[in-house]
């Protein structure tokens, strides 16, 4: 009588099992990073936006990285945010659309995106954050909106100015009618989201 032979699994079987294990590990790591971002990074952004919505520009500036502070004083930062809100209006609602975290050897950066509805129309907000001394800080902020494109384009020469200000940086003519002007000075844009 012959003994039953043990069924052996080939390389294909072990390759598939290993591949599935790697996919599960990758997906699990991505999910863990996403929830880490929700728990530790988005509160910084939410606090920043709460300060801006309440007109507490100094409180928002305290959440800005040293890199951004090198390019803008508190007054320039305030002017920048006031010009954005002057064009967009008050924030009525926002929805988180993504959190992406990237870690390097000695540094970590994150990108947080929102779709927001302002009083004058929609905009997308993209924050870049960096870790400084163990704390996440806002390194850059990009407002993307057709309203801003319209407000920064000179009606006289067609130049796309960096921020919605009172006068064109190219021809010096008013960007808006006198009744629409609110910005006391043009402020530099924050560092671009990387």
Per-residue confidence (pLDDT) for residue 181, from 0 to 100:
46
CATH code for the domain of 86 = 3.10.450.100
The per-residue pLDDT for 67 is: 92
Reading the chain (194 residues) residue by residue, the pLDDT tens digits are 556 556 666 566 656 666 666 655 554 544 555 455 556 788 999 999 999 999 999 999 999 999 999 999 999 999 889 988 888 998 999 999 988 888 777 778 889 999 999 999 999 999 999 989 889 999 999 999 988 888 788 888 988 877 767 788 888 888 775 544 444 444 455 655 44
pLDDT of residue 189: 53
State which residues form the domain around 29.
13-180
- Identify whether 146 is part of a domain: yes
Rg, C-alpha atoms of the chain: 24
35 found inside a domain: yes
Residue 154, classed as helix, strand or coil, is coil
Residue 187 lies in a domain: no
Query: What is the total count of domains within the chain?
Result: 1
The CB density around residue 58, as the number of other CB atoms within 10 Å, is 11
- Residue 7 falls inside a structural domain: no
pLDDT at 184: 44
In a domain, 188, yes or no: no
Structure tokens at 55: 């007109």
Instruction: Report d(CA 143, CA 190) in Å as an integer.
Output: 10
**What pLDDT score was predicted for residue 2?**
59
CA distance 150 to 160: 9
Those residues whose C-beta lies under 8 Å from the C-beta of residue 161, and which sit 6 or more positions away, are 152, 153, 154, 168, 169, 170, 175, 186
**Cβ proximity of 147 and 136 under 8 Å:** no
- Find all residues with CB under 8 Å of 13, minimum gap 6, and list them: none
Write down the pLDDT at residue 137: 94
């Amino acid at each position: 009588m012959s003994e039953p032979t043990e069924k052996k699994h080939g390389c294909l079987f072990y390759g598939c099992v290993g591949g599935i294990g790697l996919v599960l590990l990758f997906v699990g790591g991505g999910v863990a990073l996403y929830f880490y971002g929700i728990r530790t990074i988005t509160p910084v952004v939410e606090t920043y936006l709460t300060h801006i919505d309440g007109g507490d520009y100094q409180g928002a500036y305290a959440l800005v990285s040293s890199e951004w502070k090198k390019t803008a004083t508190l007054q320039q930062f305030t002017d920048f945010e006031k010009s954005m809100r002057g064009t967009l209006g008050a924030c009525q609602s926002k929805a988180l659309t993504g959190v992406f975290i990237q870690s390097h050897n000695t540094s970590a950066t994150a990108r947080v995106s929102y779709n927001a509805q302002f009083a004058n129309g929609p905009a997308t907000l993209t924050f870049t954050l960096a870790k400084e001394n163990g704390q996440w800080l806002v390194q850059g902020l990009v407002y993307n909106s057709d309203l801003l494109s319209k407000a920064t384009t000179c009606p006289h020469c067609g130049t796309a100015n960096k921020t919605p200000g009172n006068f064109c940086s190219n021809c010096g003519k008013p960007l808006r009618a006198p009744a629409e002007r609110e910005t006391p000075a043009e402020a530099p844009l924050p560092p671009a989201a990387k």
